[in-house]
Amino acid sequence: MTTRNHCLERDAQDPLASLRDQFDLPAGIIYLDGNSLGARPKSALTRAQQVIAQEWGKDLIRSWNAAGWFELPKRLGKLLAPLIGAADGEVVVTDTTSVNLFKALAAALDMQAADAGRRVIVTERSNFPTDIYMAQGLTTWLDRGYTLRLIDSPEELPAAIGADTAVVMLTHVNYRTGYQYDMQAASALAHEHGALILWDLAHSAGAVPVDLHAGGADLAVGCTYKYLNGGPGAPAFIWVPKKHQPHFHQPLSGWWGHAAPFAMAPDFQPAEGIARALCGTQPIVSLALVECGLDVHHQTSMAAIRAKSLALTDLFIELVEARCAAHPLGLVTPRAHANRGSHVSFTHPHGYAVMAALIARGVIGDYREPAIMRFGFTPLYTSYADVWDAVEILRDILDRKDYNIDAKRDAVT
């Protein structure tokens, strides 16, 4: 049976342990919510001060050129590319995941539009709601007979894709269950039937190794405020591989996606390359901070992050099942490593109340309907001893029924 001392020994041998020092984590907190909002890299404060005090305050508008503000979406895309198996010139950090999804889905439908028989978008009912909502909004607005086919489990995917399918739109790691798709297999399935595949990497980028090229992806979007530690509401990313760039036409054709933005021409001409995925002026203060999280990632490798993520999630599952066995907890996350992301979800009939009690005791995870407690493990700053201590606090709360089932719900759970 694993003990706390075993956990401390593993921390002492952990090759990533020193990276925790690059994050400003408050004392007395065990932070298991990096799958929702990553912790703050210490360097983000210095960078924010530099952007606000010097670049904005002193250099003013000159910073668009002198501080490289205008090129920032592309420069950050270049830093992000190796983490997701993208090539240089294929990623920009910009806008939100929802907005990028709209652009990518619209462009994918446009690439398939010549085939009037392809009017179906296949996705999952359990996909993150914004993905479904954006697809609903786009198809309703297009009014060209597109429909959404919602599958209820990954096993239904093969039967759901056919000659009528324009686009398969999947989230690589499910936000609720932590289920991870086999990207290569799902992409191959889509291509067998002539469909394109669009991946949402919100819970994958920086959390699990991703190789978009080897995985056969056509388009991808993702988020930087979770495992990439970019900051609350930090701009997201969009990936368009070189082979699709010439045919990538997205409807949010703002001036930053123009071939010559400062020519101020009255007609839209898309830029060559990935810049055509841009729309308009970016929130530079927020965008600039994304670099701080990426810098930490560049000090290690996705292979090392994945090895520790699996060790942490295995440990958490083992300890919860052993030490909280008397309680009605149900593991939702796959046990198979190949199908697991970097968070673990357990159901409990009073999941919201138990999570509220955990947070009150300094163990920060979150809650998702129905009855799911999510615990995120960020190998850059989560230790094995954190896992032990979090499970002990959970056990204590459950043993003593120290939670309030009438607790008022916050707007954000």
Ligand X SMILES: Cc1ncc(COP(=O)(O)O)c(C=O)c1O
Q: Which residues are catalytic?
A: 128, 200, 225-226, 374
* Residues between 259 and 318 that touch ligand X (CB under 6 A): none
What is the number of alpha carbons within 13 Å of residue 105 lying toward its C-beta?
A: 30
Q: What is the DSSP letter of 214?
A: T
Residue 98 touches ligand X, criterion: CB under 6 A: yes
Residue 131 touches ligand X, criterion: CB under 6 A: yes
Residue 223 or 302 having the CB closest to ligand X:
223
Residue 129 or 349 having the CB closest to ligand X:
129
Residue 22 or 174 having the CB closest to ligand X:
174
Least distance in Å: CB of 132 to ligand X?
10
Pick the stretch among 9-17, 53-61, 127-135, 287-295 that binds ligand X (CB under 6 A). 127-135
* Residues between 182 and 201 that touch ligand X (CB under 6 A): 200
Residue 94 touches ligand X, criterion: CB under 6 A: no
- The H or E element that residue 69 is part of is none
From candidates 157, 202, 296, 355, binder to ligand X by CB under 6 A: 202
In 3D, which of 294, 298, 301 has the Cα closest to residue 72? 294
From candidates 139, 171, 180, 309, binder to ligand X by CB under 6 A: 171
From candidates 223, 240, 329, 390, binder to ligand X by CB under 6 A: 223
Beta bridge partners of 162: none
Residue 252 touches ligand X, criterion: CB under 6 A: no
Residue 89 or 206 having the CB closest to ligand X:
206
Question: Cα separation of 208 and 33, whole Å?
Answer: 16
Backbone angles phi, psi at 406, to 5 degrees: -100, 10
Least distance in Å: CB of 128 to ligand X?
3
Q: What angle do CA 57, 60, 64 make, to 5 degrees?
A: 125
Peptide bond into 15 cis (omega under 30): no
In 3D, which of 63, 80, 68, 33 has the Cα closest to residue 292? 80
Alpha carbon of 90 to those of 79, 197, 299: distances in Å? Answer: 11, 16, 22
Residue 218 touches ligand X, criterion: CB under 6 A: no
Tokens of 21: 């020092």
Residue 128 touches ligand X, criterion: CB under 6 A: yes
Backbone angles phi, psi at 271, to 5 degrees: -65, 155
Least distance in Å: CB of 240 to ligand X?
18
Question: Cα separation of 40 and 136, whole Å?
Answer: 34
Residue 386 touches ligand X, criterion: CB under 6 A: no
Residue 180 touches ligand X, criterion: CB under 6 A: no
Residue 37 or 81 having the CB closest to ligand X:
37
From candidates 97, 187, 345, 382, binder to ligand X by CB under 6 A: 97
Question: Cα separation of 19 and 329, whole Å?
Answer: 32
Q: By the 8 A CB rule, do 227 and 297 touch?
A: no
Q: By the 8 A CB rule, do 73 and 92 touch?
A: yes
- The H or E element that residue 408 is part of is none
Residue 130 touches ligand X, criterion: CB under 6 A: yes
Pick the stretch among 70-78, 92-100, 144-152, 310-318 that binds ligand X (CB under 6 A). 92-100
- For residue 251, which amino acid is it? P
**Residues found near ligand X in the complex (CB under 6 A):** 96-98, 128, 130-131, 171, 175, 200, 202-203, 223, 236
